[in-house]
């Protein structure tokens, strides 16, 4: 068991022993480390406003059990912060409907609307179509996908690994695929997110082949395939910005504070590359606050507070949190540009993280079904670059075996 999973299990057991919660407000979130500290500061500010006693625990991958009625009532939180709209959909009968938050783009509200009612309020959103890099190690930003591949191939050929990868966190790999599929065929991406059984679609194979082309370049990753599979996303950032083992690491806006904390090297970003004529991908994710039944006055007050600009500004000013509220604009550096992009209503709707919208076998009880498929795909193409086509067929077969998402 990994340390993060052990901490999640400990949090679940601790919450179960906290009593009925009548004397306070119990909140669970998926974060840990620095992010959990920032959220604790948010809750402390809330407590000072109303003198509420708030307990916060990190549930990690156990969040589904806590929200989805798979634990005793004494273990249920009052408010939970969840990453997966599909989890909100599955647990909606245990959740209190909420009023739509003014100013939130309609596509974002729609992600949390089930049976005609809104069941959550977005607190923190993320931009996941970025590549962070060290300008002292990368000679130039690539013009498009093929230029990026050529640049990486050239650097790797000269013994300078261009990329670091935290493949131990499977969502890092699914983000690559989702950005590629959004570039190639946003329509198929949207239908998959809606529950259509389209994993055998040619665009899925094309997206896998595209990322397989990059992952199979000999020497492209610092430390090689084995190290990448043992490295978590924050370790990949340390590899780049502290140790200088590689020049780039694709990721999200919430990488910013980790970069600042773990390295003194300058950091810049460019958007995840696509080919000419394709749609530039904008992959989004987020954490929504949900209110469990029976709702207390303190729980309702907290939900309202989390939807206010006052709640998010201190964290946003440090980086690592983007808000859908246009009144929040005090981000560090040029991260305000990313917040503005996330708030835009796109013609195809919000391109929300696909793996966070899936149900059934692909998601699994811990939300990580697709992670394992992509880790196996990564290992296959990185170990045998000549076998990309075979690895693509196997990954498609694994994905295509999933049932439709339950309503």
**pLDDT tens, residue by residue, 210-240:** 999 999 999 999 999 999 999 999 999 999 9
Task: Give the contacts of 38 (CB within 8 A, at least 6 positions apart).
Answer: 314, 315, 318, 320, 321
Give burial (CB, 10 Å; 0-12/13-18/19+) of 403. exposed
**What residues does 322 pair with on adjacent strands?**
125
Residue 10: pLDDT over 80: no
- Residue 61: pLDDT band with limits 50, 70, 90: low
Strands (E), 31-182: 54-58, 79-82, 113-114, 117-118, 121-127, 130-133
Looking at residue 241, its pLDDT comes to 95
Residue 75: pLDDT over 50: yes
Residue 73: pLDDT over 70: no
**pLDDT tens, residue by residue, 36-57:** 999 999 999 999 888 788 999 8
Of the listed ranges 46-50, 177-181, 275-279, 323-327, the one predicted with least confidence: 46-50
Provide the 10 A C-beta neighbour count for residue 72: 7
Provide the 10 A C-beta neighbour count for residue 62: 25
Residue 180: pLDDT over 90: yes
Q: How far is CA 377 from CA 145, 229, 368, in A?
A: 20, 11, 15
Q: Between these two residues, 242 and 265, which has the higher pLDDT value?
A: 242
Looking at residue 270, its pLDDT comes to 97
CA dist 39 and 81 (Å) reads 10
CA dist 225 and 179 (Å) reads 21
Q: Between these two residues, 150 and 195, which has the higher pLDDT value?
A: 150
Nearest to 7 by CA among 43, 33, 46: 33
The pTM for the full model equals: 0.89
Lookup: tokens for 385: 């670059």
Nearest to 116 by CA among 89, 143, 135: 89
Looking at residue 344, its pLDDT comes to 80
Domains defined along the chain, listed by start: 3-127+284-343 (3.40.190.10), 136-282+358-400 (3.40.190.10)
Residue 263: pLDDT over 60: yes
Looking at residue 264, its pLDDT comes to 72
Q: Give 74's DSSP letter.
A: G
Looking at residue 195, its pLDDT comes to 87
Task: Give the contacts of 282 (CB within 8 A, at least 6 positions apart).
Answer: 127, 129, 182, 341, 342, 346, 351
Mean pLDDT, the chain, whole residue set: 87
Nearest to 172 by CA among 398, 321, 353, 364: 353
Residue 16: pLDDT over 80: no
Residue 150: pLDDT over 60: yes
- Residue 5: pLDDT band with limits 50, 70, 90: very low
Task: Give the contacts of 316 (CB within 8 A, at least 6 positions apart).
Answer: 322, 323, 328, 330, 331
Looking at residue 24, its pLDDT comes to 83
- Residue 3: pLDDT band with limits 50, 70, 90: very low
Of the listed ranges 72-81, 92-101, 108-117, 204-213, the one predicted with least confidence: 72-81
Looking at residue 368, its pLDDT comes to 62
Helix axes 309-316 and 297-306, enclosed angle (nearest 10): 50
């Amino acid at each position: 068991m990994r340390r993060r999973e052990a901490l999640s299990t400990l949090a679940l057991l601790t919450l179960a022993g906290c009593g009925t919660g009548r004397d306070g407000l119990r909140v669970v979130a998926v974060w840990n480390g620095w992010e959990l500290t920032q959220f604790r500061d948010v809750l402390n500010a809330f407590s000072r406003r109303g003198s509420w006693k708030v307990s916060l625990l990190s549930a990690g991958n156990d969040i589904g059990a806590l929200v989805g009625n798979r634990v005793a009532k004494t273990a249920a939180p009052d408010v939970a912060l969840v990453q997966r709209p599909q989890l909100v959909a599955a647990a909606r009968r245990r959740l209190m409907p909420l009023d739509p938050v003014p100013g939130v783009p309609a596509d974002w509200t729609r992600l949390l609307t089930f049976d005609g009612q809104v069941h959550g309020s977005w607190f923190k959103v993320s931009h996941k179509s970025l590549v962070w890099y060290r300008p002292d190690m990368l000679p130039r930003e690539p013009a498009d996908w093929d230029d990026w591949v050529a640049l990486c191939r050239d650097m790797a050929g000269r013994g300078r690994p261009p990329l670091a990868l935290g493949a131990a966190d499977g969502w890092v790999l699914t983000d690559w695929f989702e950005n590629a599929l959004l570039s190639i065929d946003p329509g198929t991406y949207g239908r998959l997110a809606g529950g259509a059984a389209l994993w055998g679609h040619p665009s899925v194979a094309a997206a896998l082949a595209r990322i397989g082309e990059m992952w199979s370049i000999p020497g492209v990753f610092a430390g090689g395939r084995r190290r990448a599979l043992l490295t978590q996303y924050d370790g990949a950032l340390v590899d780049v910005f502290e140790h200088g083992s590689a020049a780039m690491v694709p990721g999200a806006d919430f990488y910013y504070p980790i970069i600042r904390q773990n390295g003194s090297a300058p950091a810049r970003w460019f958007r995840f590359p696509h080919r000419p004529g394709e749609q530039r991908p904008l992959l989004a994710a987020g954490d929504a606050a949900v209110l469990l039944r029976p709702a207390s006055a303190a729980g309702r007050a907290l939900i309202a507070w989390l939807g206010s600009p006052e709640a998010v500004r201190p964290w946003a000013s440090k980086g690592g949190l983007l808000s859908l509220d246009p009144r929040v604009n005090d981000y560090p550096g040029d991260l305000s540009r990313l917040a503005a992009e996330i708030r835009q209503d796109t013609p195809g709707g919000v391109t929300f993280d696909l793996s966070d919208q899936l149900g059934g076998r692909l998601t699994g009880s811990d939300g990580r079904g697709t992670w394992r498929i992509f880790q196996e795909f990564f290992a296959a193409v990185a170990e045998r670059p000549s076998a990309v086509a075979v690895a693509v067929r196997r990954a498609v077969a694994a994905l295509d075996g999933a049932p439709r998402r339950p309503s």
